Structure 1
Amino acid sequence: MPFPVFPVSALAYLWVGLAFVCFFAVRFKKRPRYPPGPKGLPIVGNFFDVPSDYAWITYGDLGRQYGSDIIHLEVFGSHIVALNSAKAVKDLLEKRSSIYSDREQSVMLSELTGWGRNTAFMKYGDVWKEHRRLLHQYFRPLTVPQYHSSQAKNIHRLLQSLLDSPEEFVEHIQFLTGATILDVVYAFDVRPGDPMIELVEKAVRTATEIMHAGVYLGVYHNSLQMHLRHLPSWFPGAGFKRQAAEWKTLVDDMHEMPYGQFKASMRKGHAEPCFTATLLSADETNEDMTRLDEVFMSVTGAAYAGGADTTAAGLATFLLAVTMFPQTQVAAHEELDRVLGRRRLPEIEDRESLPHITAILHEVMRWHPTAPLGIPHRTTTDDDYQGYHIPAGTVIFGNAWAILHNEDIYPDPEAYKPERYLNEDGGLRDDIPYPIEAFGYGRRICPGRHFAHDILWQAIANILTVFKIERALDNNGNEIVPKGETTPHLISTPKPFKCRFTLRFPGAETLIRSAALTD
């Protein structure tokens, strides 16, 4: 008698049924309630929704689409959250900063290219706190005035450069910021073309390249890189290691070469007073100088890397704005003439008498913040906000662009209007918030923001005192109106445009030449 087949078939069906039950139980188990965002695909999630360019605009658009100031995406199991309102940023990145201040440790950025040693990209913890304390100590509001003379000296040199070769204005403003920071940090009196300036500019660009469009943020490429990093650089798919090795040389040189050069001068008794001299003098008897050298190299490197590109980008944005909207210079010129009488250049002490210059600076920072998304934060523990779950390890963007283009606070936000910060009497309004978002948030806010604000204010005031910024002309004598385009990078700068620098009055050139000669 044949063996009955029914029990075997029944057992098979039972196993198949159990498999389906288990599959759907896992697949459709109750997920935490994440913030609103586009629906993802199986496995890859929102891989195809993550913006590759101008992410700040995309995240702002998603916020309006879903009617939420907090947006969520998930890519291969990793979470991204964008905060599009000042309230959300304050609630999370400031009030809960103890768990929202970490950095994502991208293999490419933090390890292979060496940026992990830099304070800006360092993991949150005791080492980072030590570095941060030093930066706050030497760049706090009470300390920054000692750097004003260096700022003024290099701004006066900028005016002369703009007078002599105005078509190279981008190079001139880049040199201004680099030279000033090298002077403040190391007491190096550099000139255009100095190899130290070129080294640091190249090194800083590597971070911008790596961070561009989130490609190496570690959100979805990091796990792949963790495996590929063990392969030899010649192996197919490991080409990024060859690029990383080249960039690491630049990054290491940026941190080590100026610091080593300064220490050598200090040992010979030739070093001038500066930020680094103060650091070394405070700990000259410390036996653990090897560790402190690494700390000081990181801190001084952060001081340069954090300020050079962002400050230059801010000044370039100012020039773009007044070229696109030339009529906005009229009131500033009138204010400067009234206060200075066309007899001298402005100084930082004139700030209270020149509210329109301050309004211009604030509007430049709001109109196009140089770091529209900034360096993302990372959560260290699970959290819940507005009924939504934010897992540990989530990459958090504070969307400065969306916040500073909020129509409820800044009507007609795409327009450049310095007057929005002024009352009818010409003074600064106290009901329009200062665009602090341009400098970051919480414990990760830029420690050099007071320094950056002062050098930008002085540069804008000095340029407008002696120059009228006008649009360039084509071969037919017609004005060339800039399109107002900017780059999609971590540090977003204006794309190339042309403008003219016209002396405003007969004695302007004398003021420029005399100031540059005196310094």
Structure 2
Amino acid sequence: MAIQIYQAVLATLAVFILHRLYRYSKLSSRAAGFPPGPGTVPFLGNLHQLPISRPELKFATFARQFGSITGIKAGCQNMIILNTWQAVRDLLEQKGSIYSSRPTIPVCEIVVPGGLNPALNPYGDLWRGQRKKLVDFLGGERTDKMKPVQDAESTQMIFDMLKSPVNFEHHVDRSFGAVILATVFGQRGKTFEHGGKIESFFKVEEQWSAAVGPTSSPPINSFPFLNSVPDWLTPWKGWKLRALGIKGEQERLYIGLLNETRERLSHGKGANCFLSQCLVTQEKEWYDDTYLAYLGGVLLEGGAETSSSATMVFIMAMAAFPEVLERAQEEVDRVCGVSRLPGQEDTANLPYIRACMLEVLRWRPVTPLAIPHHTTAQDTYQTYNVPAGTDVVINCWMINHDETFYDSPATFNPSRYILNDFGASAPVDLETNKGRRLNYTFGAGRRVCPGQRFAENSMMMLFAKLVWAFDIEATGKLPLDLQEGWTEGVVIRPKNLPVKFKLRGGDRKKVVHDAWLEADAFLQQFE
């Protein structure tokens, strides 16, 4: 009898396993009407074809083969890659009501549960409330009122680089982090000291970016059964504990910053910063401290990391293409001379610096695939079926390197943006290109970054000051081809750049020192 029961249990278990295997095999195959893409294999779908590093380059290969939209099966998870600006416009811009959510990312559910991070939470009332707060702070002319802080912090960056050029990456990070600290939290980030606010932020941000990497946690969306498997039995042993560690560090940092802002506000300091304004209306609008702390934290994440990463690309490009650097220097010298640093009042008169910024964002976008969108209802596009629950990726890399639109898109050539605003190889028909963005580094649709203008203001001032003050030279091989020497994650940047900074001629050292004294006096209000 016992043997019969044992055999029955084994038979039932075998049937269950075979049924699940059959089910996952069917789910991983391409359904009729799904957008075209590479062939699938049972269980994996297309996962075996997706590289861990630089997936945007593989997606570009798919785009040339399959057209404006590529269908991918990541196990049983549907994914579409939008390879043209028209596809982005048609779906994310014109059908935003069903293309504006976010996929469920298990590690994010641990680190930022309950929709705390507006960049990651689902589309709905909570997100709309958070979005409105961010747009009210960053939208329109309001962002230009923050230019004096951006001007002063970029001046300190030049001064810091003059004193210690070997630590230039820390100085860049400090500058952008300090701008957010001042405008959002009303505090000064004067140094990149170990254990300080800015160093702590970039440290936890590096861990956070690694945690959401494609191989850092089990692909539960692709294989839901993995959610029931203890992580110590998988190759991702300890991923939940690592995520909890990141959650603790973020909470400590963001809530600590909020409490310091509240304390400063009680002493009459920092009344004009974003979180001080939120704290004034906290009881009326029923915001708890965690909600506000993470609202400020996402501004720190979005405003500091992306801009500093783009600046590292700019520095690499100036070292790699000395003829571009020379032309940029000629422009700032013509506008500012040698007796003063470029400032907030000069950016409108520096079209070539602006062209360099736009070309940096096009040539090596620091968010080549951005954060996926997620459909909340079934849709039809062209002749294809897009199921509900599909992940939607903007292939910013492919759009930025479209050979039918850009002349030699692989070449770094800021002059393309002098010829026309879009950098196109031919005059742009505005009717045909209606709805096209200058670039897609900041996303698109209802999830487009609300801080784009803020970021561009910061980069313009910092880029202008860099080329005014320094000659930038390569001291080794630069990672121009993306194959190695870059970080991994949602936001990427070249790392350990082999470059040196040489102060240009004239009395620039004294000019920088005097400008820093003035900037330091201005920034003392945030201490």
Q: Name the TM-score, length of structure 2 as normaliser.
A: 0.85
Change (3 A) 1:498 1:260: same
Which residue number in structure 2 is paired with residue 495 of structure 1? 495
User: Is 1:436 the equivalent of 2:435?
Assistant: no
Q: Which amino acid aligns with 2:190?
A: R
Q: Which amino acid aligns with 2:448?
A: I
In the aligned structure 1, how far is the partner of 2:215 from the partner of 2:87? 22
What is the DSSP-based 3-state SS (H/G/I as helix, E as strand, rest coil) of the residue aligned with 1:306?
helix
User: Is 1:331 the equivalent of 2:353?
Assistant: no
Judge conservation of contact 2:353–2:464 (CA < 8 Å) in 1: yes
Change (3 A) 1:221 1:256: farther
Q: CA deviation at 1:131?
A: 0.2
Which residue number in structure 1 is paired with residue 452 of structure 2? 449
Q: CA deviation at 1:375?
A: 0.6
Which residue number in structure 2 is paired with residue 511 of structure 1? 511
User: Is 1:468 the equivalent of 2:471?
Assistant: yes
User: Is 1:135 the equivalent of 2:134?
Assistant: yes
Q: CA deviation at 1:125?
A: 0.3
Moved more, 368-377 or 412-421: 412-421
Q: Which amino acid aligns with 1:450?
A: R
What is the DSSP-based 3-state SS (H/G/I as helix, E as strand, rest coil) of the residue aligned with 2:47?
coil
Judge conservation of contact 1:365–1:435 (CA < 8 Å) in 2: no
Judge conservation of contact 2:416–2:424 (CA < 8 Å) in 1: no
Q: CA deviation at 1:114?
A: 4.4
User: Is 1:78 the equivalent of 2:74?
Assistant: no
Q: Which amino acid aligns with 2:108?
A: L
In the aligned structure 1, how far is the partner of 2:165 from the partner of 2:131? 38
Question: Equivalent residues in 2 for 1:343-382 (5 A)?
Answer: 343-382=339-378
In the aligned structure 1, how far is the partner of 2:424 from the partner of 2:185? 36
Which residue number in structure 2 is paired with residue 213 of structure 1? 214
In the aligned structure 1, how far is the partner of 2:336 from the partner of 2:377? 55
What is the DSSP-based 3-state SS (H/G/I as helix, E as strand, rest coil) of the residue aligned with 2:345?
helix
Which residue number in structure 1 is paired with residue 238 of structure 2? 239
User: Is 1:201 the equivalent of 2:202?
Assistant: yes
Q: CA deviation at 1:220?
A: 3.7
Aligned residues: 480
Moved more, 116-125 or 210-219: 210-219
**Over the residues paired in the alignment, what is the CA RMSD in angstroms?**
2.7
What is the DSSP-based 3-state SS (H/G/I as helix, E as strand, rest coil) of the residue aligned with 1:143?
helix
User: Is 1:226 the equivalent of 2:222?
Assistant: no
Q: Larger Rg: 1 or 2?
A: 1
Q: Which amino acid aligns with 2:65?
A: Q
Q: Which amino acid aligns with 1:209?
A: A
Which residue number in structure 2 is paired with residue 42 of structure 1? 42
Which residue number in structure 2 is paired with residue 265 of structure 1? 264
Q: Which amino acid aligns with 1:39?
A: G
Judge conservation of contact 1:105–1:218 (CA < 8 Å) in 2: no
Q: CA deviation at 1:202?
A: 2.4
Deviations 1:318-358 (A, max 9, x none): 00011111111122111112111222111222223211111
Q: CA deviation at 1:62?
A: 0.6
Deviations 1:71-105 (A, max 9, x none): 11113321111111111111111111110111111
What is the DSSP-based 3-state SS (H/G/I as helix, E as strand, rest coil) of the residue aligned with 1:142?
helix
Judge conservation of contact 1:213–1:488 (CA < 8 Å) in 2: no
In the aligned structure 2, how far is the partner of 1:140 from the partner of 1:334? 33
In the aligned structure 2, how far is the partner of 1:468 from the partner of 1:242? 46
In the aligned structure 1, how far is the partner of 2:75 from the partner of 2:477? 44
What is the DSSP-based 3-state SS (H/G/I as helix, E as strand, rest coil) of the residue aligned with 1:34?
coil
In the aligned structure 1, how far is the partner of 2:239 from the partner of 2:50? 21
In the aligned structure 2, how far is the partner of 1:30 from the partner of 1:101? 24
Change (3 A) 1:396 1:512: same
Q: CA deviation at 1:50?
A: 2.5
What is the DSSP-based 3-state SS (H/G/I as helix, E as strand, rest coil) of the residue aligned with 1:72?
strand
Deviations 1:447-499 (A, max 9, x none): 11111010000000111112121222xxxxxxx34132433321110132221
Change (3 A) 1:30 1:503: closer
In the aligned structure 2, how far is the partner of 1:307 from the partner of 1:49? 33
Judge conservation of contact 1:202–1:250 (CA < 8 Å) in 2: no
In the aligned structure 2, how far is the partner of 1:133 from the partner of 1:113? 20
Judge conservation of contact 2:316–2:478 (CA < 8 Å) in 1: yes
Q: CA deviation at 1:284?
A: 5.1
In the aligned structure 1, how far is the partner of 2:220 from the partner of 2:99? 16
Q: Which amino acid aligns with 2:312?
A: A
Q: CA deviation at 1:505?
A: 1.9
What is the DSSP-based 3-state SS (H/G/I as helix, E as strand, rest coil) of the residue aligned with 1:374?
coil
In the aligned structure 2, how far is the partner of 1:436 from the partner of 1:483? 23
Which residue number in structure 1 is paired with residue 103 of structure 2? 104
Judge conservation of contact 1:80–1:219 (CA < 8 Å) in 2: no
In the aligned structure 1, how far is the partner of 2:330 from the partner of 2:273? 37
Which residue number in structure 1 is paired with residue 19 of structure 2? none
Q: CA deviation at 1:277?
A: 1.3
Change (3 A) 1:31 1:274: closer
Which residue number in structure 1 is paired with residue 186 of structure 2? 187
Judge conservation of contact 1:158–1:176 (CA < 8 Å) in 2: yes
Q: Which amino acid aligns with 1:443?
A: R
Judge conservation of contact 1:378–1:395 (CA < 8 Å) in 2: yes
In the aligned structure 2, how far is the partner of 1:377 from the partner of 1:353? 37
Judge conservation of contact 2:187–2:270 (CA < 8 Å) in 1: no
Q: CA deviation at 1:393?
A: 0.7
Give structure 2 stretches of 5+ with no counterpart.
Answer: 1-21, 429-435, 520-527
Moved more, 496-505 or 234-243: 234-243
Judge conservation of contact 1:69–1:83 (CA < 8 Å) in 2: yes
What is the DSSP-based 3-state SS (H/G/I as helix, E as strand, rest coil) of the residue aligned with 2:380?
strand
What is the DSSP-based 3-state SS (H/G/I as helix, E as strand, rest coil) of the residue aligned with 1:468?
strand
In the aligned structure 2, how far is the partner of 1:145 from the partner of 1:107? 38
What is the DSSP-based 3-state SS (H/G/I as helix, E as strand, rest coil) of the residue aligned with 2:102?
coil
User: Is 1:409 the equivalent of 2:401?
Assistant: no
Give structure 1 stretches of 5+ with no counterpart.
Answer: 1-22, 473-479
Judge conservation of contact 1:212–1:488 (CA < 8 Å) in 2: yes
Change (3 A) 1:483 1:240: closer
Moved more, 332-341 or 234-243: 234-243
Judge conservation of contact 1:379–1:396 (CA < 8 Å) in 2: yes
Which residue number in structure 2 is paired with residue 93 of structure 1? 92
Change (3 A) 1:437 1:412: same
What is the DSSP-based 3-state SS (H/G/I as helix, E as strand, rest coil) of the residue aligned with 1:407?
coil
In the aligned structure 1, how far is the partner of 2:257 from the partner of 2:220? 34
Which residue number in structure 1 is paired with residue 166 of structure 2? 167
Judge conservation of contact 1:106–1:217 (CA < 8 Å) in 2: no
Q: CA deviation at 1:221?
A: 5.2
Among the aligned pairs, what percent are the same residue?
Answer: 28
What is the DSSP-based 3-state SS (H/G/I as helix, E as strand, rest coil) of the residue aligned with 1:212?
coil
Q: Name the TM-score, length of structure 1 as normaliser.
A: 0.86
Q: CA deviation at 1:372?
A: 0.5
What is the DSSP-based 3-state SS (H/G/I as helix, E as strand, rest coil) of the residue aligned with 1:48?
helix
In the aligned structure 1, how far is the partner of 2:77 from the partner of 2:282? 45
Q: CA deviation at 1:216?
A: 5.0
What is the DSSP-based 3-state SS (H/G/I as helix, E as strand, rest coil) of the residue aligned with 1:312?
helix
